[in-house]
Amino acid sequence: ALPDRVRIHEVGPRDGLQNEKAVVPAEIKAEFIRRLAASGLSVIEATSFVHPKWVPQLADAEQLMPMLADVPARLPVLVPNERGLDRALALGVREVAVFASATESFAKANLNRTVDESLEMFAPVVARAREAGGSVRGYLSMCFGDPWEGAVPVDQVVRVSRRLLDLGCDELSLGDTIGVATPGHVAALLTALGEAGVPVGRLAVHFHDTYGQALSNTLTALRHGVTTVDASAGGLGGCPYAKSATGNLATEDLVWMLEGLGISTGVDLGLLTATSVWMAAHLGRPSPSRTVRALSHQ
């Protein structure tokens, strides 16, 4: 059975723009987020409060967030540590995400920590964000394959998933950071998480389209009961600390499939496509999304 409704967790302004060589001005980012909200997206990840030297593309978070006060959408942000949380709380942000790795190699590359050390770093972040009345998403990267370690064992992913939920994360987003997952692997991981007692209602999936499998993987996840799907407008983004990662699943491709299945998303595909065409013009190259290209004759 398939769900009646899917919540799209839009990551373009964060996961997309963090991977662009050019630094997009805050005014353009704000306009991008306003347009995404106007197209009907209700959760839009706005930026990250990480070290500005690690991700210079998002170093303007303090400038950007106050420009978004009137945007009618939830605008969560990434925070790696208490310093990041303090910055977010100071701006009145209450919805945050921490980001862990299922593998040691990526934990080191992305967070300069072991998996254990990064979970220790997140513990007070999750606790304090919840005390402040916020909700916390936990990302788990490299749930399927890792550029240094190859295929990632399912039980290793289940173990770190459990630990993120035990820290108090409300939601867990399973990341195929380099886009190597296939539907059988997705089914195996979701089955194993279910057997480990993880409620499917707390799971989201985050696919990259490196091998063209992102939609097949998404459909597999929907059949397993997942109803929150991450996607990036126009297919923007990869990950700066995982070189083989290409774009995220494009939001337009996802909406096209869901509409065809009669699953409601609340998104106006025409407005969304126009937004990605506008952003592509700003970035100076066409959107990699097949749906954007088809609908806009780019």
Query: Coil, strand or helix: which one is 192?
Result: helix
Q: How far is CA 270 from the centre of its chain?
A: 22
Closer residue to Mg ion in complex, CB, 198/205:
205
Closer residue to ligand HMG in complex, CB, 76/295:
76
Evaluate whether 190 touches 222 at the Cβ level (below 8 Å): no
**Residue (of 29, 59, 70) closest to 46 by Cα position:** 29
Q: Which of 175, 234, 235, 247 binds ligand HMG (CB under 6 A)?
A: 175
**Is 239 among the catalytic positions?**
yes
Contact characters 7-36, Mg ion, x per CB under 5 A: --------x---------------------
- Among Mg ion, ligand HMG, none, residue 141 binds (CB under 5-8 Å by kind): ligand HMG
Q: Is 171 in the site for Mg ion (CB under 5 A)?
A: no
Closer residue to ligand HMG in complex, CB, 32/99:
99
Q: What is the Cα–Cα distance from 223 to 266, expressed in whole angstroms?
A: 20
The interface region with ligand HMG, picked from 23-31, 36-44, 73-81, 215-223 by CB under 6 A, is 73-81
Q: Which of 28, 38, 42, 54 binds ligand HMG (CB under 6 A)?
A: 54
In this structure, the dihedral spanned by the alpha carbons of residues 122, 123, 127 and 128, taken in order and rounded to 10 degrees, is: -50
Q: What is the Cα–Cα distance from 267 to 10, expressed in whole angstroms?
A: 11
Closer residue to ligand HMG in complex, CB, 173/293:
173
Residue 96 φ/ψ, nearest 5 degrees: -130, 165
Q: Which of 177, 232, 275, 291 binds ligand HMG (CB under 6 A)?
A: 177
Q: Supply the minimum distance, in Å, between the C-beta of residue 140 and ligand HMG.
A: 7
Q: Which of 6, 9, 13, 15 binds ligand HMG (CB under 6 A)?
A: 15
Q: Which of 39, 47, 103, 141 binds ligand HMG (CB under 6 A)?
A: 141
Closer residue to ligand HMG in complex, CB, 209/252:
209
Tokens of 242: 């995982």
Q: Supply the minimum distance, in Å, between the C-beta of residue 64 and Mg ion.
A: 19
Q: Which helix (H) or strand (E) holds 6?
A: none
Residues 193-252 that bind Mg ion (CB under 5 A): 248
Q: Supply the minimum distance, in Å, between the C-beta of residue 296 and ligand HMG.
A: 26
Q: Which of 37, 44, 46, 55 binds ligand HMG (CB under 6 A)?
A: 55
Binding footprint of ligand HMG, residue count (CB under 6 A): 25
Q: What is the Cα–Cα distance from 287 to 236, expressed in whole angstroms?
A: 7
What is the residue-wise DSSP string for 227-267?
-EEEEBGGG----TTSTT--PBPBHHHHHHHHHHTT-B---
Residues 209-248 that bind ligand HMG (CB under 6 A): 239, 241
Closer residue to ligand HMG in complex, CB, 177/220:
177
User: Per the residue annotation, which of 186, 239, 250, 255 is the catalytic one?
Assistant: 239
H-state helical runs in the chain: 26-38, 61-64, 82-90, 104-111, 115-131, 154-167, 183-195, 214-223, 251-260, 269-283, 290-296
Tokens of 10: 């839009």
AA identity, residue 214: A
First and final C-alpha spacing in the chain? 36
Binding region for ligand HMG (CB under 6 A)? 15, 18, 48-51, 54-55, 78, 80-81, 83-84, 87, 99, 110-112, 139, 141, 175, 177, 206, 239, 241
What are the catalytic residues? 239
Contact footprint for Mg ion (CB under 5 A): 15, 248
